[in-house]
Amino acid sequence: MFGLKGKSFLTLHDFSKQEITYLLDLAAELKAKKRMGIKGELLAGKNVALIFEKPSTRTRCAFTVACVDEGAHPEYLGKDDIQLGHKESVQDTARVLGRLFDAIEFRGFSQQVVEDLAKYSGVPVYNGLTDLYHPTQILADFLTMKEHVGTLKGKKFVYIGDGRNNMANSLLIGCAKMGIHIAVIAPKTLWPEEAHVEVCRGYAEIEGSKIIITEDVEEVKGADVIYTDVWCSMGEEEKAKERVALLKPYQVNTELIAKTQNKQVIFMHCLPAVKGNEVTEEVFEAPYSVVFDEAENRMHTIKAVMVATLS
């Protein structure tokens, strides 16, 4: 569908609203099939390399289970298992793995590495997270949002906290393309890059969605979704004390939830969460918190991406 067979999943910049919608619909179908206990064979005979420079719970487990559910073999390759970018260039590693595997997942630091893997391997490459983007997470977020809010277009999505990380970048792209109004609430020093925002404004203009970048926490009013992420991404641990002081006013707590004035609001987080920093224990464990539905949906949406690009 939509010519997705053989296509890499590196950033949502590369996918249209129609393609994203198709992947979400396919994920919902695959989720229903799994719930009914129907074993799949859509990836039978396929071998998928899973490269991890950064540790992971959800991404690693989601890719592994998704592969096995549909008959594929996942092969985990940690940073000490292969020579990627050290004794062997990324280009050479890509060309070797492309001869041995049907697809490659990469979770690490540099977006350029995942782009080069796609350029030189000759097989679909999936971005499991880089410093710039986290596109598989956005699919899981949108599937969860559809399950709990009903629709995407016209809803108000608020991301609060570190506004220049990979989650904020990816949510801006996804929301703009899907017609979701998005507000990024963060201190000015942590706003997303203006060039990136301008590209997303172009997507938003086509779909009629609004993008707001602000320091004002009152902008949560009317939100259908409140979303946050850790205040220090992997590799930024030395900035923890500074970030906590800067972002404390942007904590998701019951007072902030009340400011939405929406009794149907849901709370989302890509996990893992540092409770007491970006979100309180009370909010995290509240009935309106859907973080574990979101975590499960990583697997269903990742499965959809692999089925759409490999089967």
Catalytic pick among 69, 116, 162, 229: 229
Annotated active-site residue 107? The verdict is yes
At 71 the pLDDT is 98
Q: Are 262 and 224 in contact (CB under 8 A)?
A: yes
Q: What is the mean pLDDT of residues 110-116?
A: 98
Annotated active-site residue 300? The verdict is no
Model pLDDT for residues 52-100, shown as the tens digit of each residue: 999 999 999 999 999 999 999 999 999 899 988 788 999 999 999 999 9
CA 70 to chain centre: 22
Give the residue extent of every domain in the chain. Answer: 12-134+297-310, 137-294
Q: What is the mean pLDDT of residues 159-164?
A: 97
In degrees, rounded to 5, the angle at the alpha carbon of residue 208 between the alpha carbons of residues 207 and 211 is 105
At 86 the pLDDT is 80
Annotated active-site residue 232? The verdict is no
Options 3.40.50.1370, 2.60.120.10, 3.10.20.70, 3.40.50.720; CATH for 137-294 is 3.40.50.1370
Q: pTM value?
A: 0.96
- The per-residue DSSP string of 174-197 comes to HHHHHT-EEEEE--GGGPPPHHHH
Q: What is the mean pLDDT of residues 167-187?
A: 98
Annotated active-site residue 181? The verdict is no
Tokens standing for residue 196: 């990136």
Which amino acid does the sequence have at 162? D
At 141 the pLDDT is 99
Catalytic pick among 67, 224, 270, 300: 270
Tokens standing for residue 101: 């595997």
pLDDT of 150 > 60? The answer is yes
Q: Which residues contact 236 (CB under 8 A, 6 or more apart)?
A: 243
At 233 the pLDDT is 74
Q: Which residues contact 192 (CB under 8 A, 6 or more apart)?
A: 163, 164, 168, 169, 172, 184, 213
- The per-residue DSSP string of 65-82 comes to HHHHHTT-EEEEEETTTS
Q: What is the mean pLDDT of residues 132-154?
A: 98
Model pLDDT for residues 210-264, shown as the tens digit of each residue: 999 999 999 999 999 999 999 987 667 777 889 999 999 999 999 999 999 999 9
Catalytic pick among 58, 60, 107, 300: 107
Model pLDDT for residues 255-296, shown as the tens digit of each residue: 999 999 999 999 999 999 999 999 999 999 999 999 999 999
Annotated active-site residue 229? The verdict is yes
Mean pLDDT of the chain: 96
At 234 the pLDDT is 67
Catalytic pick among 134, 181, 243, 269: 134
User: How many Å apart are CA 107 and CA 67, to the nearest integer?
Assistant: 16
pLDDT band at 1 (very low <50, low <70, confident <90, very high): low
Catalytic pick among 58, 181, 298, 300: 298
Catalytic pick among 137, 141, 175, 224: 137
Taking the CA atoms of 202, 113, 94 and 62 in sequence, report the sign of the dihedral they define.
negative
* CATH class of segment(s) 12-134+297-310: alpha beta
Annotated active-site residue 86? The verdict is no
Same fold, 12-134+297-310 and 137-294: yes
User: How many Å apart are CA 220 and CA 240, to the nearest integer?
Assistant: 25
Across 48-86, b (16+ Cβ under 10 Å) vs e yields: bbbbbbbebebbbebbbbbbebbebebbebeeeebebbe
